[in-house]
Chain A
Amino acid sequence: MGNKKQKAPARSLVLQRRETMVSYLFLLPALFFFVGFVITPMAMGVITSFTDASFTNPEGTFVGLKNYTRLFQDKIFLKSAVNTVIIVVVSVPAVTAFSLWVGSAIYKMRSGIRSFYRCVFYLPVVTGSVAVTVVWKWMFDKYDGLLNYIVKALGGQPLPWTSSEQMALWCIILILFTTSIGQPIVLYVAALGNVDASLEEAAKVDGANDFQVFWKIKWPSIMPTTLYVAVITTINSFQCFALIQLLTSGGPNYSTSTVMYLLYDIAFKTTKEFGYADAMGVVLAIVIALFSALQFKVMNGGTTE
């Protein structure tokens, strides 16, 4: 660090200019795709959300905040927002706690067994949401589904699963859960492996039990990982889409519709009002950013050094 600072003033203006030019040449290809296909559509989305653009009228005219005020009177949107919040509030703690448990159960195992488990729990992610969803659709099937077979074999009444307003959202949450824990487990295994072993030994010598070792030593040192896991799980749960589109199409009676699904439904299926759907996207993006910031605050507050 100090070395660099000393050298900085010695660099000639020509060299500095040359380095800047070379750097931008190297950055150019990445910036082209980033600005062209991430930043531009983001800006377009925000602008369109203030218009009444639609499939038949792609340009649209400026309508101010009308789309945004309409959101809060739209019963279907409010219902979808509630469903989205339920998914996030259930799945984020469940995924975090479960993957932490699996991570701590496997990280001390022999490396072969450890990578076996890591693979198994990562498999649904690799398999892809489409293949995973279609096989669950079959298992949830009222007549030929495995789940009702098991329920009947255990002496119960067949359940309606995804065709019931009460159960459908929980079916979605279950599948989402199986496709969400792979990455957190990989992260926790790595983080737990990096916990300073000497601290753990010292605590044990001092007579701490396993629970105390976990709570006082491991938990604080894996805090950054927990935070990261909570944030990515939040972002993913808010964006849960493929499962819903393939399994229930938001039904029955909007009981599994989420903001992300409704946005797609409005933009591409039903009324094709791009402006209105973009307003939903903007609200969703803001909410996700707020949630992530909040988690950052809450969890960092817990470990003030």
Chain B
Amino acid sequence: MLKKKSMTPYTILSAVILAALAVFFLFPLYWIVTGSVKEKSDIIIKSGEMVKWIPTRITWDNYQRLFKTGTELFGIQMPMAIRWLFNSVFISVVAMGLTCATSSLAGYVLAKKRFWGKGLIFGLFVCAMALPKQVILIPLMSEMSSLGLLKSVWGSMFAVIFPVVGWPFGVFLMKQFSENIPSSLLEAARIDGAGELRTFLEVAFPIIKPGFGALAIFTFINSWNEYPLQLVMLTQNEAKTISLGIASKLSEMSNDFGLIMAGAALAAVPIIIVFLCFQKYFTQGITMGAVKG
């Protein structure tokens, strides 16, 4: 890790600080997971007693209380919290699919084609990206409600998905990746008589695939955690995502930390696993998105 000659007091000190910081950053997650399986008596801190750093006994009580309210989906009985989890997955997967499809097509032509109005369109995308997306929350809600989407459970979920798909970051990212496509390859495909769509799918797509992966994982995680939009659009209990569901539990029963932690674990652990599996793509996406085009 360290070259012998750089073993100065400074490097040792910074290694120690880094390790301490890592503990500090990992701790909240540890506290969520262990809190979710602690008994009530472990959660309360009694004066004069040690805090329970490790659960004395693992219990699923908190999860049982969280799963008490039931609901139905496609004719299957299930706890409400599982329905929320399903909604989170549904919203993230659909948003991911739509974003990847629309952005890779748009990014490709913005990087590789010459056409009238290209500068203007790209400029609009970039300008919109610099603006705060939460300030459009109110008009978005009015728009979705006048489109009639907020009346139904599934409609309101799409009211969360559409603005995520419209956000221009994906187009910007895919344009960056599409710059790598050699124009000579596209030219060769054209001379061979391949249609535009086939050229895109067979020549361009294999080259921009890493970008596609980065965008997919990025969009998945972002829409999973897109809280303000969910808060405004998903008013019916059956339409809530897991994060929003936990947030509403927090206002109902703010003292039942065990139950809240069970919910937080349910919201955090799946997305962390997804992140760890696709970490490589993710890092690539962040760095590519920052390079100025």
Contacts and interface: CB of A to CB of B under 8 A. Distances in A.
B181 to A, nearest CB: 14
Contacts of A145: 45
Contacts of A285: 131-132, 135
Contacts of A132: 28
Interface in A101-157: 102, 105-106, 109-110, 113, 115-132, 134-139, 141, 143-146, 149, 152
B121 interface: yes
B18 interface: yes
Contacts of B113: 19, 22-23, 26
Interface in B266-293: 267-268, 271-272, 275-276, 279, 283, 286-287, 290, 292
B225 A128 contact: yes
A139 B261 CA distance: 12
Given A118-B283, A130-B246, A149-B51, A29 B261 contact: no
A123 B101 contact: no
Given A23-B109, A29-B102, A30-B171, A278 B31 contact: no
A138 B31 contact: yes
A109 B121 contact: no
A33 B219 CA distance: 15
Given A117-B18, A285-B131, A128 B45 contact: no
B242 to A, nearest CB: 9
Interface string B157-182: 00000110111100100000000000
B194 interface: no
B212 interface: no
Interface residues of A, number: 95
Interface in B129-152: 130-140, 142-143
A113 B115 contact: no
Nearest to B250: A134
| Size bracket of the B interface | 35 or more
A296 B120 CA distance: 22
B22 A117 contact: yes
A16 B117 CA distance: 13
Contact of A288 (B131, B257, B265): B131
Interface string A154-182: 00000000000000000000000010000
Interface in B219-245: 221, 224-225, 227-228, 231-232, 243-244
B221 A126 contact: yes
Contacts of A284: 132, 135
10 contacts: A26-B106, A26-B200, A29-B101, A37-B166, A41-B139, A42-B128, A58-B142, A109-B2, A127-B32, A128-B227
The 3 A-B pairs at the shortest CB distance, nearest first, are namely A30-B106, A281-B135, A33-B166
